[in-house]
Amino acid sequence: MKKNILTFFLAVASFLPTMAQHFVGGDISLLTKYEEHGAKYLDNNGNPCGDLLSFFKQNGHNAMRVRLFVTPSNASTTDKGQGVCQDLDYVIKLAKRIKDNGFALILDFHYSDSWADPAKQFTPKEWLSLSDNELYTKIYDYTKDCLSKLNEVGATPDFIQPGNEISYGMLWGAEGGSYKKYYAGQESNRERFTTLLKNAIKACREECPRAKIILHTERVPNTTYLGNFYSDMNTAGVDYDIVGLSYYPYWHKDLTQLDIAIKKMERDFADKKIMIVETGYYHHWQPSDVSYDYSSTWPISDDGQNQFTADLIEKLKTHESVIGLFWWSMESNEFGLDWNTKRVTDNWYNAGLFDNQTGRANKALSTLKTFLTDEQLAIKNAEESRSSCKKLYNLLGQNINEKHRGIVIKEGKKYIKSENK
C-alpha cells in the first residue's frame, strides 16, 4: 500500500509544472573549497554527513545556487579572502555535481571579477576598454559561451540570474572612476542598463530556453524604489519570469516589511513569481555594524536562527506567488581546517547552517524543508517511510546493520537471519 501511495505522489509530481513547485536550498558556491581544505561536516547529532549534497537532499532541499565571476583572479587580495574564486571552470564542475545529484540549479552571473552588489558593480578588468555598444555584444557573447559550456557537460541551469543585486544597474565602469549607475524611475543610464540586460537574457533564452529568468534586487526596505525598478523593466520590455529578492532582517527590517514588499510585487506585477534568492541570520555572534538588531526576537544562537527560519517560512507560505527560498552561504564551515594554512576565508561567516566550532548542522538546515508545498512534503514523507521500511530492527526496536544474525524485524515482519543473507 505504501509503495502504491509513493508511486501515486511521484506520478503527480512528474506532471507538476516547474513554476508550481517550491524550491528550497542555498547558495553553496564555496563548497568545493571547504571540501578541498578538509572541512568536517557533521549532522545535528555529531555524525559525519558523508557527501554533503546527499545530506542536503535527505533534509528536503531540492535546489542549489552558484555564483559566477568573470575573471576572479583579477579580484583584490581582500576579495579573494572573502570567497571570490568562482571562475567558469570551477562553476562547471560544481554545477555538474549539483545537477547529477538531482537538484535544480540557479546560476548567478555577477558580470564582474568580484562581488557585484548595490554598492559595487564594477566592470571586469578585461572589458574596461569596451564602448557601451561593444559591451552590449560582449555580455551576449560571454553569457552564451558560459551557458553553452554548461550545456555541453549536462549542467544546464534551471534558473538564471543575469546580474546579482542589480538595483542600481551593472557594469558601472572601473572602480574609482566615473560610474554609469542606473536609478529606478530616472532616465539616466536606464536605456544602457536595460539594453545590457536584454542582450544577456537573449543569450539565456537561446541557450537555455526552458530556464526561468530571475531579476535580482534587494530594496525590500524601500518598496517605492522596488516598484519603480520592475516598472522600468516592464516599460523597457525586459523579458523575465521571476522577481528575485534578497532578505536579511538585520539589513532589510522585520518580516512585516518583507510582507509589505511581497504584497506590492504581487499587486503590481501579478504575472511574476517571486523567490527569496538570498537570506540568512546569525547563529554565533552578530557583527556590530548591522542596521537592525532583532536579537531580542531571534537570539543569536542555533535556536534563534531556527526560529527566524520557521517564522520566515510561515510568512512566505501566506503568499502563493513565492516559490523559492535560498539560504546564502549555507555551506560555510571552518571546523576541521588549519586556520593558519588552510582557511577558506579570512573571517568566519556566522550566518551559515553549520557551526564553525563544532562542524554540526544547525537546526535551521532541516527546518528549511517546511517551505516545500504540501504535495512535495507528502512525497518526501512517503519516501522516508519507504526507506525506513527497508531497515532492520531487533526485538527491542533498535536499528541494526545487515551483518546482524538472529531474529530481525523488516517491514513489520519477523525473520531469522544468518550473517550472509
SS3 of 113-138: the string is CCCCECCECCCCHHHCCCCHHHHHHH
Taking the chain, what is the end-to-end CA distance rounded to the nearest angstrom? 26
pLDDT tens readout for residues 260-274:
999 999 999 999 999
Give the per-residue pLDDT at 381: 80
Give the per-residue pLDDT at 15: 36
Please give the share of the chain, as a percent, with pLDDT higher than 90.
Answer: 82
Give the per-residue pLDDT at 393: 58
State how far the alpha carbon of 175 is from the alpha carbons of 75, 116, 122, 217, in Å. Answer: 11, 12, 6, 21
Closest CA to 117 of 323, 260, 241, 278: 278
Does residue 13 carry a pLDDT above 60?
Answer: no
Cβ–Cβ under 8 Å, residues 158 and 211: yes
Is the pTM higher than 0.95? The answer reads no
CA distance 141 to 111: 12
State how far the alpha carbon of 49 is from the alpha carbons of 53, 54, 85, 194, 390, in Å. Answer: 9, 8, 25, 44, 21
- The residue ranking higher by pLDDT, 180 or 379, is 180
CA distance 49 to 47: 6
Give the per-residue pLDDT at 341: 85
Taking residues 109-131, report their average pLDDT.
98
Give the per-residue pLDDT at 340: 84
Taking residues 173-182, report their average pLDDT.
96
CA distance 362 to 353: 5
Cβ–Cβ under 8 Å, residues 83 and 344: yes
Helices (H), 65-189: 77-80, 88-100, 132-152
Does residue 21 carry a pLDDT above 50?
Answer: yes
pLDDT band at 45 (very low <50, low <70, confident <90, very high): very high
Taking residues 313-320, report their average pLDDT.
98
Phi-psi region of 154 (alpha: psi -120 to 50; beta: other; left: phi over 0): left
pLDDT band at 90 (very low <50, low <70, confident <90, very high): very high
pLDDT band at 31 (very low <50, low <70, confident <90, very high): very high
CA distance 421 to 418: 6
- In this structure, of 4-18, 161-175, 337-351, 368-382, the range with the lowest mean pLDDT score is 4-18
Taking residues 28-46, report their average pLDDT.
97
Does residue 410 carry a pLDDT above 90?
Answer: no
Place of cell 544562537: 301
Taking residues 109-123, report their average pLDDT.
98
- In this structure, of 93-102, 332-341, 358-367, the range with the lowest mean pLDDT score is 332-341
Taking residues 220-225, report their average pLDDT.
98
- The residue ranking higher by pLDDT, 6 or 400, is 400
Phi-psi region of 263 (alpha: psi -120 to 50; beta: other; left: phi over 0): alpha
For strand 322-328 and strand 273-279, is the pairing parallel, antiparallel, or unpaired? Answer: parallel
pLDDT averaged over every residue in the chain: 91
pLDDT band at 396 (very low <50, low <70, confident <90, very high): low
Give the per-residue pLDDT at 16: 39
Does residue 409 carry a pLDDT above 70?
Answer: no
pLDDT tens readout for residues 52-61:
999 999 999 9
pLDDT band at 379 (very low <50, low <70, confident <90, very high): confident
Place of cell 535560498: 326
Does residue 153 carry a pLDDT above 80?
Answer: yes
pLDDT band at 94 (very low <50, low <70, confident <90, very high): very high
State how far the alpha carbon of 302 is from the alpha carbons of 239, 281, 284, 335, 389, in Å. Answer: 40, 10, 7, 16, 32
DSSP string, 355-373: -TTT-BBPHHHHHGGGGS-
